[in-house]
Amino acid sequence: MHHGLKPFFAPRGVAIIGASAAPNKLSFGILRNLSQYGYSGHIAPVNPKEDTILGYKSYPDIASVPDPVDLAVIVLPAPVIPGVLEDCGKRGVQAVVIISGGFKELGPEGAAVEAGLVDIARKYNMRLIGPNCVGTLDMYTGLNTTFIQGIPAKGSIGFVSQSGAVAGGVVEIIRDKFIGFSMFATLGNEADVTETDMIEYLADEPNTRVIASYVEAINDGQRFMQAARKVSRHKPIIMLKAGRTSAGARAVSSHTGSLAGSYTAYQAAFEQAGVIEVDTLADLFDFSMAFANLPLPKGPRVAMITNGGGPAALASDGLSPNGLQMADLSPETQAILRPHLNPAAQIANPVDMLGAADAAEYSIALKTILTDPNVDMAVAILVPQALVNTEAVAQAICDQAKGQSKPVVAVFVGEWSTKKAREILHTNGIPMYTHPETPGRVLSAMLKYARWLQKPEQTVTQFSNLDRATAIQLLQQAKGQPAMGEVLTRPLLAAYGMPVVSGEMAKSANEAVLVAEKVGFPVVMKIVSPDILHKSDVGGIHLNLDSTEAVRAAYTAMLQEISAKLPDARLEGVLIETMAPKGQEVIIGMRRDSNFGPLMMFGLGGIYVELFGDVAFRVAPLTHEDALDMVRSTRAGRLLTGFRGMQEADVEGVVETILRLSQLSIDFQQISEIEINPLLVLPKGKGTLALDGRVILQD
């Protein structure tokens, strides 16, 4: 629920609690900002030691502030804030921004005080932003409760930042670049209002066309995904995630765990929810401006016009790595261009009009390539020249791009002589970049988003033919143990409808022979030990045992060899399984992420999974399309489809196994990690077989 967030941006009245008359205090800066950007509501400083501040009557406490007062901004030492917040609740304040720090960022004691703030807010049905934040700003109501110097241009980008410092830096960077904001909010510690709340609020905010966000951590990952998936169908969400390295991540016990760092869950969640992720702060606003102003492309074909070959070459190099391609201009297009350009100009793509190309040439060239049916989007490149009117070229680009159904972006290589051109382009909604490599990233993101919108919405896949009772019994049997070995994992998988290869456990050579005769030769023998994770590393797997003598000999040799290598390992016996038929090997797994929950994995199976890292991840619960995308996005998945004459494998069988493992992971929170490695994929229509599996448990 995002109820109560409007007062953070359009309050009828604002109280600044802790306002100071000293110009060097943050609270003075907040009051000054609130007074000078057109906010028309009631402004009330609260300070018992002052009669007036900046010409506004000062009140001794929040109870004395007359109506209306929807929003309170608190700038006081942390120890006194709980009492002040209680007073705000009694006064009927709907929303509170706590600028002050000194809470959970300092440790457990501060976290406890912060939790108490949330309890107070809940008691009075108030909403909180902060603590430890910089405040909120709305370009349409004139509200500015920040102490940031200056404001951005008015526009349609809603910016949400967990970091106040990043938000302040962003305003400083873009305030003279005419990149328009509708509002922004800095959330600080997110004691109450989170980026998910803001996404839900901005979904219905009429002045916001695109949501841009800087995040460091998302606590309720499942709720975030549900909200983002819904909102991104109507408004693009562009995110910059900080803290992407997995250094310091906990030690993990499976292939899946070792490959799935904490950032992996964010990548998967963004992919599934239609969130556009960027790598840099510059990209966050380069992308946002394009999404806020341009139509989405219908295909990957890009045409360029330029007055310099080098920048066009760099821009062209940025297309293919991002899934785009240079358009083939039709002969008709080239014929139209020829008489209007320098006789030495190149009229194929890129259209190189040479250094002295003027505004008229840019105008006819852009107009012509945009009418070519082979072109999906256009890039206009200019290197400023002494004889060329840069501003006139910018205006020509705007005139031809206006009303087009194809996106147009500009690259003006330079800073000093392009300031006025940037103003012309940006105020007309045409993104201008200074580096030729940027358009490839931006246009690729727009195309990816357009294709995501075309995908039909799907529901989560759920199976009814499951034996939950057996699964509960097996997990209860393993309670108190760190892991379930293959002996217990096999029936657990089978209980959730995943086919497993025939086999049984044996605790002696004689039992091994009996089991082998029962399941049928040839057989596989695997060591059973809670202390051995990777059996093949210690000689714990023998293949193709085709007689009773071979089984006896293998049993004796295996136990002797492993006992010598690992004298402290508990050897409980062996698992005898039927030798599997021919097929392709893949791995399917899950690691439970602390923020997002079960993180599913698919990739190349066997012993090479970590070596090649050919894996895909998605956050459970999954739709059929999610699971199919996992398979399609890997080289292992392409091999399954019959690569270079290979027999086509049962891709649908793999998808179903992923979905069943996903449901198992959702149903049983005590499973920390689980994997099937390898999962044997049989020819199309023949299904799959789990050849080995392991479950790691958590308390």
Q: Which band of pLDDT confidence, cut at 50, 70 and 90, is reported for residue 261?
A: low
Q: What are phi and psi of 420, to 5 degrees?
A: -65, -35
Specify whether the CB–CB gap between 231 and 211 falls below 8 A.
Answer: yes
State yes or no: pLDDT of 260 exceeds 50: no
Quick one: pLDDT at residue 607?
61
Residue 271 has pLDDT above 70, yes or no: yes
pLDDT, mean of residues 282-308: 97
CB 695 within 8 A of CB 589: no
Query: What pTM value is reported for the model?
Result: 0.91
- In this structure, the dihedral spanned by the alpha carbons of residues 31, 37, 38 and 42, taken in order and rounded to 10 degrees, is -10
| CA separation for the pair 373, 34 (Å, rounded) | 51
- The residue to which tokens 């028309």 are assigned: 40
Q: Where do runs of H (alpha helix) occur along 232-329? A: 255-259, 262-273, 281-293, 309-317
Whether 246 shows a pLDDT value over 60: the answer reads no
The pLDDT of residue 609 is 62
Report residue 41 as tokens: 């509501």
pLDDT range class, residue 480, cuts 50, 70, 90: confident
- pLDDT at 262 (0 to 100): 79
Please give the average per-residue pLDDT across 323-332, as a whole number.
97
pLDDT at 219: 87
Determine the 3-state secondary structure of 631 from DSSP. Answer: helix
Residue 254 pLDDT greater than 70, yes or no:
no
Share above pLDDT 90 across residues of the chain, in percent, rounded to a whole number: 83
pLDDT tens digits for range 198-245: 999 999 999 999 999 999 999 899 999 999 999 999 999 999 999 876
Crossing angle, helix 221-231 and helix 195-203, to 10 degrees?
A: 20
Residues shown for the chain: 699
β-pairing, 432-433 vs 671-681, is: unpaired
| pLDDT at residue 2 greater than cutoff 60 | no
Lowest mean pLDDT, pick from 124-138, 142-156, 547-561, 609-623: 609-623
**Chain segment 27-52, per-residue pLDDT in tens:** 999 999 999 999 999 999 999 999 99
SS3 of 292, please? helix
Which helix (DSSP H) or strand (DSSP E) does residue 220 occupy? none
Of the ranges 100-114, 244-258, 311-325, 658-672, which one carries the lowest mean pLDDT score? 244-258
Could you give the C-alpha distances from 698 to 252, 479, 484, 514, 534, in angstroms and in order?
12, 9, 11, 36, 20
Inter-residue contact 134 to 121 (CB < 8 Å): no
- Cα separation, 122 vs 427, in Å, equals 43
- CA atoms of 661 and 272, how far apart (whole Å): 18
The predicted structure's pLDDT at residue 257: 44
pLDDT bracket for residue 174 (50, 70, 90): confident
Which amino acid would we find at residue 518? K
Percentage of residues of the chain with pLDDT beyond 70: 96
| Least confident span in 128-132, 275-279, 478-482 | 478-482
Domain annotation for the chain: domains and CATH numbers: 6-208 (3.40.50.720), 297-452 (3.40.50.261), 468-578 (3.30.1490.20), 584-697 (3.30.470.20)
Separation CA 405–CA 407 (nearest Å): 7
What are the pLDDT digits (tens) for 49-65? 999 999 999 999 999 99
CA-to-CA distance for 163 and 616, rounded, in angstroms?
30
Could you read off the pLDDT of 626-638 as tens digits, one per residue? Answer: 999 999 999 888 8
pLDDT the model gives residue 256: 44
Amino acid at 95: A
> Would you say residue 252 has pLDDT above 50?
no
What is the C-alpha separation between 166 and 177, in angstroms, rounded?
17
The answer to whether residues 495 and 489 touch, using CB atoms and an 8 Å cutoff, is no
Instruction: Give the pLDDT confidence score for residue 641 in this predicted structure.
Output: 87
Average pLDDT, the chain: 93
